[in-house]
Structure 1
C-alpha cells in the first residue's frame, strides 16, 4: 500500500507550455496564450495548440512510484484506421525509462468528407511508473504530442519539488504539423524535441498542425516569450490551405519577422523553408484528403491546385523557398539566417523513407531531421 502525496500541477512543474487553463477536472496546458486564442475562430488551431507537443512535467524527487491522472481527448476519423493512443515518455536524469498510454478519455470524431465533428465525453485514466530508484533524481513526463491532455492529479510516494533551472539555452521553434510531430511515434521522438536533446537546449515547440499561416498573434507570442534561440519553419501550410498568393506572402513574412524582432532584436533567428513534399514542389494547393484512399481505409493527402495558376501568383514549395531565401538575404540583420528545408529531408531521404501519407515524414525521418538540424543549426547560426 503506497502512502501517496498529491501535488498540485502548477506552472513551476511544467516546461514547454505558454499558459495553464483551469478546467472542470484539472489544468490544461496551452501553447498559445488566452489573448491569442481569443483572436481566431478556427477549430483546427483550437485543437492543435492544446495538444501538448514539447510540454513536460519536470520535478526532483526520491519517489519510487508515480501516478499521473489525465483526461485525454482522442481523435477518430470516420472511415479511417484508428489513431494510436498518445504516448507518455518518462525520463529519469535524461534517460528514457518507461512509456505509457491512457486508453480512456474524451473522443473527438471528425468526418473528413464533411468536416463535421462530434465529441463524446469520457473518463480520466492513470499513467503509473514504478520500480524507480530511491535516489534523488530529475523526472520528466513528456505529454502526448498529438493528444489534448488535461492534467487531473499527480501523486508520488515521496515529496517532489520543481527541478532547478538547467542553465541551458532555450530554443523556441514555430512550424507546421511536421514540427508539431505528425507521424512521430512518441513525444521525445519528434524532430524538434530530439534535436533539442542532441544540442543540449530546452525546447519550446510552437509547431501547430495545419496552422502555421503567418498569423500575427503567433508572431506576437514568439515576440513575448523568453528565448535564447528562435527558428520559424514557414510555407507548407500556406500552400496546403491556399491562403495567399505571392504578393501577400512576401509582406506577411516581413511583418512576421518584424514583430519577432520587436521582442528579440538580436536573438539568433533562423528561417527554415519547407522540407521536400513532391506533390507540392511545383503544384499549388489546396491540399485535400484523398477520398479514394480513405475508401480503402488509408489516410493520404493530394494536391488539387493547377500549375497554370503559378503565373498569377499561386504558391508552390519551390516558389516559397526562393522567396524566403530572397527575403532573408535582403534584410539588414546579421543575426537572421536561412536554412533550406531540403537539407533536413530531401529527394534522397524521400526515396529511402517515402512520406507515408504523401505529406508528413515518418518516425525514422524525424530522427534524421533532428540529427541534421542539430548539426546544421547548432554548429552554425545557433553555435
Structure 2
C-alpha cells in the first residue's frame, strides 16, 4: 500500500510524485514565493518527520527512494531511518541506493547519478498491537514509495502536545548520525511531545515567511533559534537585525498570542564569537575528507554594526527584556546548551556544527531546561492546540 498522508507527522504537506509521496516541511506557497535553491534543498530533507501508525504486524517493509547531495573529496555519512516500536528503537537502517547529486566544490559543477529505491525491513515484532514511529532521514530527501506489512496498519490516535521549533542547520541536525538523535528529536522524545522541526540548514535568516508558517502551524509550544546564519551570511547589520526579530515575534504572536514562546540565542562557535562573517569554507580543507569553515570578517567591523555571536546574544536578551509585557516570552542563552567548555571537550568537527555526542548533550539540556520544573514549556498546554 502507498503510505497514507495521515500517517505522516511533522510536515506542512505532502506532494504526490510518480514514485509515491514526498514530505515537505514548508508549504507550497513558500516554495513558490521564494524558490531559493538552498531553502528548497533543506525543506525537502524530512528532519523531524515521522511515519507513525498502529499495527499488530510482526514484520513490515518501508520502501523509499532517497535523493542526496554529495561533495567531491568530502566524506559525508549516509542518511538513516530509525524505527521505534512502543517507544523502543528496533531498527537503525543506513540508506543505500537512491539518486546522488555530486557537487565539485572547487568548480561548482554538479552531476546526477540515478540509483535504485531502498527498503527498510523490520521483523520479529512481538505479538500484540504496536505503535510504530519511523523517523525519516534529516540529511537526505526521500519519496515514500510503499508500506508493506503482514497485518493491517491504522493511523495512530495519540494526541501529544505540539512543539514547533525553528533554527539553522544545527537544528536540522547537521553532523548528527541518526534522525532521532538530532538535538530537537532528543529533546522531543525525552519530553514526550510532537515535534515540528523547522530547522533549515543555511536558511534561518529571520525570514517573514517563516514567521507566517509558524503563526499558522498548530502549536502548544514555540521556540526560535536565531543568529548563526545571519552572521554566516553577513546578511544584516545591527540596525536591521533587531527590528526584524521584533517583527518575526510579532507575526508569531498574531497566531499564537498566549503560547509559550522561547527565543534562543546562538550556541558557542569560536570562529564567529568576536569575528563577523561572512563565513566560508576553508580552501585548505577541500579534498581532505573534512570540510572546515572560517570567518572572513574582521573584529573591528563590529563598530560599523556588523554582527558577531556575542553581539547577537546581547541584543536578543535585551529585546526580550524590552518585551516584558509578554509574560509568555522567554529567552535562553544558547551557550547554556553548548558553550566554550563544551567546545573544548566536544569540539565542532568542522568549526561550525556540533558532533553527534554534542547533539545528545544539547537535546538533553534543552529538555531539562524547557520541559521540566519551572521551564517555559513545563506546564500542560492550556486550551489545546491552536
Q: 1:18 aligns with which of 12, 21, 27?
A: 12
Question: What is the SS of the residue equivalent to 1:37?
Answer: helix
Deviation by residue 1:97-152 (Cα, 9 ceiling, x = unmatched): 11112310010112223444333332212111111123101011110111101111
2:305 paired with 1:310: no
Question: What is the SS of the residue equivalent to 1:262?
Answer: helix
Question: What TM-score results when the alignment is normalised by the length of structure 1?
Answer: 0.96
In structure 1, what is the equivalent of residue 271 of structure 2? 279
Q: 2:344 aligns with which of 332, 346, 351?
A: 351
Question: What is the SS of the residue equivalent to 2:286?
Answer: helix
2:373 paired with 1:373: no
Aligned residues: 375
Q: 2:153 aligns with which of 134, 157, 160?
A: 160
In structure 2, what is the equivalent of residue 268 of structure 1? 260
Equivalent residues in 2 for 1:83-102 (5 A)?
83-102=76-95
Q: 1:189 aligns with which of 181, 184, 205?
A: 181
Q: 2:377 aligns with which of 375, 378, 382?
A: 382
In structure 2, what is the equivalent of residue 296 of structure 1? 288
The 2-side partners of 1:84 and 1:76 are apart by 10
Matched-pair contact (CA < 8 Å) for 1:112–1:289 = no
In structure 2, what is the equivalent of residue 259 of structure 1? 251
Q: 1:242 aligns with which of 234, 243, 256?
A: 234
2:51 paired with 1:57: yes
Structure 1 unaligned residues grouped into runs of 5+: 1-5
Q: 1:46 aligns with which of 29, 40, 58?
A: 40
Q: 2:112 aligns with which of 90, 115, 119?
A: 119
The 1-side partners of 2:197 and 2:62 are apart by 22
Q: 2:170 aligns with which of 178, 191, 203?
A: 178
The 2-side partners of 1:298 and 1:373 are apart by 28
Q: Structure 1 stretch 295-304 or stretch 284-293: which is displaced more? A: 295-304
The 1-side partners of 2:106 and 2:243 are apart by 34
Structure 2 unaligned residues grouped into runs of 5+: 379-386
Matched-pair contact (CA < 8 Å) for 2:171–2:200 = yes
Question: What is the SS of the residue equivalent to 1:251?
Answer: helix
Alignment root-mean-square deviation, CA: 1.1
Q: 2:220 aligns with which of 200, 225, 228?
A: 228
Matched-pair contact (CA < 8 Å) for 1:65–1:129 = yes
In structure 2, what is the equivalent of residue 206 of structure 1? 198
In structure 2, what is the equivalent of residue 341 of structure 1? 334
The 2-side partners of 1:335 and 1:84 are apart by 40
The 2-side partners of 1:133 and 1:359 are apart by 43
The 2-side partners of 1:270 and 1:115 are apart by 38
User: Aligned pair in 2 of structure 1 residues 294, 141: CA closer, same or farther (>3 Å)?
Assistant: same
Question: What is the SS of the residue equivalent to 2:262?
Answer: strand
Question: What is the SS of the residue equivalent to 2:33?
Answer: coil
Question: What is the SS of the residue equivalent to 1:35?
Answer: helix
2:131 paired with 1:138: yes
The 2-side partners of 1:24 and 1:122 are apart by 15
The 2-side partners of 1:299 and 1:20 are apart by 33
Question: What TM-score results when the alignment is normalised by the length of structure 2?
Answer: 0.95
The 2-side partners of 1:216 and 1:300 are apart by 30
Deviation by residue 1:339-367 (Cα, 9 ceiling, x = unmatched): 00000000111111010100001111111
The 1-side partners of 2:107 and 2:264 are apart by 33
Question: What is the SS of the residue equivalent to 1:38?
Answer: helix
